[in-house]
Structure 1
């Protein structure tokens, strides 16, 4: 069975991302297209990027990086659960993405976003610029939740029908796109950059 990694992108206490991610994980398990793993960045506790070598070299010196690398490498598809902070996405999520390079390549990515009237979509548009640089492919379908606190009751996210249908549509598309990209992942990575190329810092 193909592996879907759901990433909880907010780390602040009281975040809505945790109940929303738990709900989406239940949707994914019911859907049956993937085995699902949840990674909570608050529990992963990555420090601000602290690897001396650039991520594309894969020369990791810290156990927390190697652990994160193994989690992402095992995933065939990714869903990022993100709030919108000041028209953008959380710094913790950008930090987690930036730790790695090849592990992200040729994987489909979906977004579950939440916020006010914009439902987190401005954060998603910025994230798409980042993930496409890492050769990920965002699917068009997404789950965007406006005024999300009204759906959280006793610590559980209870969506309306439109939100539940959006989750199914996104999961369907992740299954299709993952199958299309699988050959690129199996083919392996391009040759390393030649010696003397400018460093990435």
Structure 2
């Protein structure tokens, strides 16, 4: 009944959705969030303030995921999710990084993304790498080196994602790489060598 009402007349369903949104029951909150995501008229932001206030209080993984998706749809700056980069729940960290990676201002917060890259969980490292698409900051290079040393194979897709990010750096020759990068970045240099000169065997 609630689903039908939300689908055919969202305005009439709004008081019910708002009540469920503030429920102590996770299933009720999730249902309300699904109704907002699926049936609220596009471009509206009538629940923005509620969601921003409820986000730090949320404990359910699915509800948190829907909250972040809705806030992104509403045009809320996703870097506001940075406090969740260190959340005890891995799924919260993962979702926060994924959404924050959509921000056009993420290059200004490289330090926070570096902390996520140093997370002990490879899944979080992987998401953090993908979130940094388009960012070419020299501070990331030593972190990439540590990740490459930590992940000897591409089992968790860490090495391939590091390579993808290195391809975006503006290095045009190995002479430039040797001149500008410290000797300690052995594996980073090795990947850059393959990028700059893919036909070189060594």
TM-score greater than 0.5 by the shorter chain = no
TM-score by length of 1: 0.28
Instruction: Please state which structure has a larger fraction of its residues in strand.
Output: 1
Instruction: Please state which structure has a larger fraction of its residues in helix.
Output: 2
Q: Quick one: higher RCO (CA 8 Å, sep 6+), 1 or 2?
A: 1
